Amino acid sequence: MFGRKFNILSVAGIQIGIDLSWLFIAALLSWTLAVGYFPFYYPDLASNVYWLMGIAGMLGLFVCILLHELGHALVAKYNNLPISQITLFIFGGIAEIKKESQTPKVEFWVAIAGPIVSVLLVLVMHALTLLGEKSGWPVQVVGVTAYLALINLIIVIFNMIPAFPLDGGRVFRALLWWWKNDLAWATKIASYVGAGFGLFLIFYGVFTLLGGNFISGLWMFILGLFLHKAATASRTQFYVGRELKGEKVEKFMVKDPIAVPQEINLKEFIDQYVYQSHHHLYPVVDLDNLVGYISLSEVKSVPAEDWPKVYVKKVMVPRSAFQTVTPDTNALEALNLMNETGSTTLLVTVRNQLVGMLTAQDLFKLISLKIELEEKSR
């Protein structure tokens, strides 16, 4: 889901990270508040004051979103659901829970925890605003607390729309699950509603753009695309997790894959392997032991005229630079490892001897067939 991100702190053992897209929205929000929102509601202040208010409002929203996601994460942790981390990104934040809830009750409370935190923040910020107005606090402080009360109210209203994977959509799925006692059916219905709401936002965004409101229309369009994609991806992720649970890598891997000796040059590698078998990645072995891998990326880093002079062992990715799995590794763990490393291929070894190769495509072949059959049969 995310691009490049970096960790900033840890709370209750939960790692907090920021996606680079959040930096963009932080700058855009600060600018919007400083030149638009605060000057409109609090006129006749100095420009530098507006910028301080804008930055304070942005940082306050940052903390509020973090607290919202911590609400999800701490309730999930209390119910023994492992938390990968919390990541703040362009559309807010997400608590990455690595395991599905086991009961609709747990699903409900994990989903509703974030909005409950946001409601509490609305009440706290509104109370501070009233106290500040009564006590004569500086308008800069009262303006920021009033903004945070309003933006948290908007977050609550938007998040409680029953469109999966928004919080309201997860609450909706929990209620459907409780009603029918069928998580797969509940996920299907909730994700379709979420995808439908995403399409609504896309069309509304286009309509708004044509009406001349460029900024609002563009944001609605982008948000609609994100929600539509997220709803579809969440449904697929659910089916993938269900089908891979309990399965081993051995069931999906390609056994005895084509391996490359480390002592041949790149010209021989291209002619004898790439042009013959048409793969993008090849394990490199020495006496049946895995010593690395070579892909087209490593080859392209060398000028074509030097291929006859450069050997595979000089440009390959060494064994120490990547992780492998065993045939007994859980298939879902292997998929999670692919997601974490950004690689679509894993090499399978037994005591450092190459026995297979696993690709994301291998994992999804069987799953896609099952999803297609189940979708048509329901």
- Split into its structural domains, the chain has a count of 2
Same-domain pairing of 280 and 236: no
User: Which pLDDT score, from 0 to 100, does residue 1 have?
Assistant: 46
Same-domain pairing of 46 and 160: yes
Sign, CA dihedral 282-286-291-294, equals negative
Within-domain flag for 375: no
CB neighbours (10 Å) of residue 277?
Answer: 10
Burial 29-59 (b: 16+ CB within 10 A, else e): bbebbbeebbbeebeeeeeebbbbbbbbbbe
Within-domain flag for 377: no
Within-domain flag for 374: no
Domain endpoint, select from 191, 213, 244: 244
Q: Which two tokens stand for residue 26?
A: 């932080």
Domain endpoint, select from 244, 260, 278: 244
Asked if 230 and 201 touch (Cβ cutoff 8 Å), the reply is: no
Domain endpoint, select from 200, 222, 244: 244
Within-domain flag for 378: no
Instruction: Give, as one character, the DSSP assignment of residue 4.
Output: S
User: Which pLDDT score, from 0 to 100, does residue 223 have?
Assistant: 82
Instruction: Give, as one character, the DSSP assignment of residue 310.
Output: -
Closest CA to 325 of 299, 362, 274: 362
Question: How do beta strands 260-261 and 281-286 pair?
Answer: parallel
CB neighbours (10 Å) of residue 124?
Answer: 15
Q: Which two tokens stand for residue 41?
A: 């509601």
Residue type, 69: E
Within-domain flag for 207: yes
Instruction: Give, as one character, the DSSP assignment of residue 330.
Output: B
Asked if 295 and 282 touch (Cβ cutoff 8 Å), the reply is: yes
Please tell me the distance from the alpha carbon of residue 63 to that of residue 66, in angstroms, as a whole number.
5
Q: Which two tokens stand for residue 298?
A: 């490593």
Residue 9: enclosing H or E segment and its boundaries?
strand 5-11
Same-domain pairing of 223 and 340: no
Residue type, 71: G
Please tell me the distance from the alpha carbon of residue 193 to that of residue 169, in angstroms, as a whole number.
8
- The beta-strand segments (E) located in 90-226 are 92-97
User: Which pLDDT score, from 0 to 100, does residue 372 have?
Assistant: 65
Same-domain pairing of 275 and 359: yes
Same-domain pairing of 165 and 286: no
Same-domain pairing of 76 and 158: yes
Q: Which two tokens stand for residue 20?
A: 């680079």
Asked if 336 and 244 touch (Cβ cutoff 8 Å), the reply is: no
Instruction: Give, as one character, the DSSP assignment of residue 45.
Output: -
Same-domain pairing of 92 and 179: yes
Same-domain pairing of 51 and 144: yes
CB neighbours (10 Å) of residue 239?
Answer: 18
Within-domain flag for 376: no
Closest CA to 60 of 158, 151, 153: 151
Please tell me the distance from the alpha carbon of residue 227 to that of residue 224, in angstroms, as a whole number.
5
Q: Is 349 helix (H, G, I), strand (E, B) or coil?
A: strand
Same-domain pairing of 254 and 240: no
Q: Is 8 helix (H, G, I), strand (E, B) or coil?
A: strand
Within-domain flag for 65: yes
Same-domain pairing of 180 and 99: yes
Domain with 274, as residue range(s), is 249-369
Question: Which residues have a Cβ under 8 Å from the Cβ of 14 and sit 6 or more positions away?
Answer: 70, 73, 74, 77, 83, 85, 86
> Can you give the pTM of this predicted structure?
0.70
CATH number of the domain bearing residue 331: 3.10.580.10
Same-domain pairing of 222 and 267: no
User: Which pLDDT score, from 0 to 100, does residue 2 have?
Assistant: 46
Contacts of range 54-60, beta carbons closer than 8 Å, 24 or more positions apart: 54/29, 54/30, 55/30, 56/140, 56/144, 57/29, 57/30, 57/33, 57/144, 57/147, 57/148, 57/151, 58/26, 58/29, 58/30, 58/33, 60/144, 60/147, 60/148
Same-domain pairing of 269 and 355: yes
pLDDT tens sequence for the chain (378 residues): 445 666 767 777 777 877 777 778 888 889 989 988 899 999 988 999 999 999 999 999 988 988 998 898 889 888 888 777 777 765 566 766 667 778 999 999 999 999 999 999 999 999 999 999 999 899 999 999 999 999 999 989 988 988 888 889 899 999 999 998 988 888 888 988 989 988 998 999 899 888 887 767 877 888 888 888 888 877 777 777 777 777 888 888 889 899 999 999 999 999 999 998 888 899 999 887 899 999 998 999 999 999 999 999 999 999 989 989 999 998 888 887 887 777 888 999 998 899 999 988 877 776 666 666 665 555
Q: Which two tokens stand for residue 285?
A: 């072995």
Within-domain flag for 96: yes
